[in-house]
Amino acid sequence: MTSSPADPKRGFGSRLFTDRKIATKIAIGYAAVLVITIAISALAYQSLVRIGHGFEDYSQRVAVVDLSRELDRAFLDLRRYVREYAISGVAADREAAEKARGVVQELLAKALDTIKDGERSAKTKHLAGQVEIYTRDFQRMSALRREQSSLVRETLDPVGTSLAARLEQLQARAPTPAAAGLAGEAFRHVMAARLNAGRLLDRHEKEAGPRVEKSLADLANVMTSLGAAVASGDARRLYEESNAEVARYAEAYKKAAADAAAIDALVNGEMRKVAQAIAEDAEAIKRSGVAEEHQIEQETARMIAWTETFVLALALAGVALGLALAWLIGRAISRPIRRIGEVLLELANGNKAVEVPYADRGDEVGDNARAAKTFKENLLRIERMEAEQREAERRAAEQRRADMHRLADEFQSAVGNIVETVSSASTELEAAAGTLTRTAETTQQLSATVASASEEASANVQSVATASEEMASSVGEISRQVQMSSEIAAEAVKQAEATNAQITELSNSASRIGDVVKLITAIAEQTNLLALNATIEAARAGDAGRGFAVVAQEVKALASQTAKATEEIGTQIAGMQAATGQSVAAIQGIGGTIARIAEIASTIAAAVEEQGAATREIARNVQEAAKGTTEVASNIGHVSHGAGETGSASTQVLASAQSLSSESNHLRLEVDKFLATVRAA
């Protein structure tokens, strides 16, 4: 339904939309789509930030769990090396234990710096205190073990060897068989004591301790009996030396056994309890971190699911709104423009009864409609002026034909009589030259008649000249109106070009929306890269990162959905850009049509100008004809004067009478042809 210039049915809401400029309508559409796009981007960014925080928290928990596991493994290594050193006393085992202790201290320092949670931090500090206790116990155990090793290496082994050798010598040099038997028994007790001491100190067989004590006690009793059996000589010297070494061996063994007992008490007593406390603290830290890992994983999964739903809803709403706005704005722009184009084509084809719609709108469509309406009014005005001009030309032609017929009749009446008179006179001239005088008088009378007719013809020609001047004035007015129509059409072309420039600028602004789409696509790609990195880190974390791998996959799926939503929005924006391009083409077509109308108006103006020039030329020629008739009247006076002199030339007339008779017949024929031509005109 087309709107008339004063359509009362259009409501305020409709006018509020239609009166907006095309640039404003397109800007509103783009702004709505941009708002949805910005909302999606903001939500996606906020979700990514929250996911990033979740990822950081999850990574921190994974780091805590990994750190607790590494600390637990490192402490197990430390315990193993400590026990091995406690058993073997080898320096390499002690160095390995020291190295393991350094690793534990390094991991513990890292844990104290990393773990900030209240409960876990307290556990970590308690663990650090236990490690400090364990370290002090290890240092005490290490000192005892070194002392024990020194006793074995520097006293027990050399003294035992020397004692056994002296007892063998004493057995060989004993003065009596009884003394030799006692020396041999003492040797056996020494060897038994050494064997069991080695089992106790090296193999840590606790049951060997009492056997060592018994062997040493038996050895002491035997040495007492042996001292009584050996009173002097070399055997006595060997006895004294052997008895002194027995005392040294027994004293060294007691110290070494005490060290072994202290080491066993530390390793299997306090150090075991401390190690158990350390293991419990590490396990508690690990359990706490794993529990929070699962909690963060669940919260992140819920947040991702909510974000997916909300982003998808916003994307669908954006697509629906984009489609609706594209349809509404395209319809609000293309339909009126197409209708205005059809109206202009109808006007160009000569249909001046067509109604011009949308003249009451306040946008560019209304401007074009009002220009088309003005063009229609000018065409109607030109048509009326052309009709008036044709009517004036018809009346002038009829008047001219009537004047020409009247002039022909008068000319026939005047000149025909002259021709008849000349013919009769020439005939009579041959019969009697005496009648020449009467003929001359008759000629004077006819000359007077011709002069009167010439004056009347001059007046009629003057009337025709006046009418021609009026017609030239009308043609000038028509030319001015056509020129005004041409100027209006040129102004419409300028307005169409300005509208085209505005829509082209809006189309260029629409093209820049692709940067927003590219930005969203870049964010989605960065999210994909973040998900890939998270998947790699989760794979490195092993079982601990398995839950985060699921989160990374969800992030990757979210990035893919965001990219798809952005692609759909880009498609809708491309459709709007295409519609804008069609609007540009349509307005350019309107501009071309108005330009052609301006050319037609210019052509009409040129034709009217030429017609005015022709009319002015006719008026000038008629003025010249009026001057000619005046001169004819003057010449007729001279003819009348010449008729008076005809009598004196009668002798010459007689000679020319025959020739005049022949020429008069020929003159009659030419006069008839001339009159026929004049009447036909």
Positions of E strands within 468-611: none
Lowest-confidence segment of 119-123, 191-195, 452-456 by average pLDDT = 452-456
User: Within a 10 A sphere around the Cβ of 554, how many other Cβ atoms?
Assistant: 19
480-503 confidence digits (pLDDT tens): 764 775 675 567 557 657 656 764
Q: Please, are residues 311 and 44 in contact by the beta-carbon 8 Å criterion?
A: yes
Q: In angstroms, rounded to a whole number, what is the distance separating the alpha carbons of residues 256 and 249?
A: 10
Q: Please, are residues 421 and 442 in contact by the beta-carbon 8 Å criterion?
A: yes
Q: In angstroms, rounded to a whole number, what is the distance separating the alpha carbons of residues 155 and 245?
A: 10
Helices 513-541 and 546-644: angle between axes, nearest 10 degrees = 170
**pLDDT reading at 612 higher than 70:** no
Residues in the chain: 681
**pLDDT reading at 451 higher than 70:** no
Q: Which residue has the higher pLDDT, 406 or 604?
A: 406
> Which class for 241: exposed (0-12), middle (13-18), buried (19 or more C-beta within 10 A)?
middle
| pLDDT for position 443 | 45
**pLDDT reading at 262 higher than 70:** yes
Q: Which residue has the higher pLDDT, 2 or 490?
A: 490
| pLDDT for position 636 | 44
204-237 confidence digits (pLDDT tens): 888 888 999 999 999 999 999 998 888 788 889 9
**pLDDT reading at 193 higher than 90:** yes
DSSP per position, 168-192: HHHHHH-SSHHHHHHHHHHHHHHHH
Q: How far is CA 519 from CA 34, 319, 522, in A?
A: 13, 18, 5
User: Within a 10 A sphere around the Cβ of 534, how many other Cβ atoms?
Assistant: 22
Helices (H), 512-545: 513-541
**pLDDT reading at 449 higher than 50:** yes
Mean pLDDT score, 101-129: 82
Sign of the C-alpha dihedral computed for residues 159, 164, 168 and 174 taken in this order: positive
DSSP per position, 89-116: --HHHHHHHHHHHHHHHHHHHHHHHH--
Q: In angstroms, rounded to a whole number, what is the distance separating the alpha carbons of residues 416 and 406?
A: 14
At 247, the pLDDT band (50, 70, 90 cuts) reads very high
Lowest-confidence segment of 118-122, 181-185, 256-260, 629-633 by average pLDDT = 629-633
Nearest to 478 by CA among 387, 415, 571: 387
The type of residue at 646 is T
User: Within a 10 A sphere around the Cβ of 550, how many other Cβ atoms?
Assistant: 16
**pLDDT reading at 195 higher than 90:** yes
Q: In angstroms, rounded to a whole number, what is the distance separating the alpha carbons of residues 444 and 453?
A: 14
Q: Please, are residues 64 and 120 in contact by the beta-carbon 8 Å criterion?
A: yes
**pLDDT reading at 672 higher than 90:** no
Q: In angstroms, rounded to a whole number, what is the distance separating the alpha carbons of residues 529 and 280?
A: 39
| pLDDT for position 344 | 84
| pLDDT for position 580 | 53
**pLDDT reading at 125 higher than 90:** no
Q: In angstroms, rounded to a whole number, what is the distance separating the alpha carbons of residues 349 and 343?
A: 10
Residue-wise burial string across 451-467, b where 16 or more C-beta atoms lie within 10 A, e elsewhere: bebbeebbebbbebbeb
Sign of the C-alpha dihedral computed for residues 588, 589, 592 and 594 taken in this order: negative
Q: In angstroms, rounded to a whole number, what is the distance separating the alpha carbons of residues 361 and 24?
A: 14
Mean pLDDT score, 414-438: 60
| pLDDT for position 383 | 80
Tokens of 609: 């100008």
Give 412's contacts (C-beta < 8 A, 6+ positions apart).
671, 675
51-74 confidence digits (pLDDT tens): 766 556 556 666 677 777 888 888
Q: Please, are residues 296 and 44 in contact by the beta-carbon 8 Å criterion?
A: no
| pLDDT for position 464 | 41
577-596 confidence digits (pLDDT tens): 675 566 557 556 646 754 66
Q: Which residue has the higher pLDDT, 163 or 109?
A: 163
Q: In angstroms, rounded to a whole number, what is the distance separating the alpha carbons of residues 264 and 641?
A: 181
Residue-wise burial string across 331-348, b where 16 or more C-beta atoms lie within 10 A, e elsewhere: ebbeebbebbbebbebbe
336-364 confidence digits (pLDDT tens): 888 888 888 888 887 877 888 877 787 77
| pLDDT for position 538 | 60
Q: Please, are residues 483 and 603 in contact by the beta-carbon 8 Å criterion?
A: no
Nearest to 615 by CA among 400, 404, 454: 400
Q: Please, are residues 661 and 426 in contact by the beta-carbon 8 Å criterion?
A: yes
Q: How far is CA 183 from the centre of its chain?
A: 107
> Which class for 8: exposed (0-12), middle (13-18), buried (19 or more C-beta within 10 A)?
exposed
User: Within a 10 A sphere around the Cβ of 653, how many other Cβ atoms?
Assistant: 18
| pLDDT for position 161 | 93
Sign of the C-alpha dihedral computed for residues 223, 228, 229 and 234 taken in this order: positive
Q: In angstroms, rounded to a whole number, what is the distance separating the alpha carbons of residues 547 and 544?
A: 7
Q: In angstroms, rounded to a whole number, what is the distance separating the alpha carbons of residues 408 and 411?
A: 5
DSSP per position, 363-388: SHHHHHHHHHHHHHHHHHHHHHHHHH
Mean pLDDT score, 436-443: 57
At 5, the pLDDT band (50, 70, 90 cuts) reads very low
Phi-psi region of 89 (alpha: psi -120 to 50; beta: other; left: phi over 0): left
At 632, the pLDDT band (50, 70, 90 cuts) reads very low
Residue listed under structure tokens 């005004």: 484
Q: In angstroms, rounded to a whole number, what is the distance separating the alpha carbons of residues 327 and 332?
A: 8
Nearest to 467 by CA among 528, 395, 572: 395
Mean pLDDT score, 436-452: 58
**pLDDT reading at 190 higher than 90:** yes
Give 656's contacts (C-beta < 8 A, 6+ positions apart).
none
Tokens of 627: 């001057």
> What is the pTM (predicted TM-score) of this model?
0.38
Give 45's contacts (C-beta < 8 A, 6+ positions apart).
523
Name the CA radius of gyration of the chain, rounded.
69
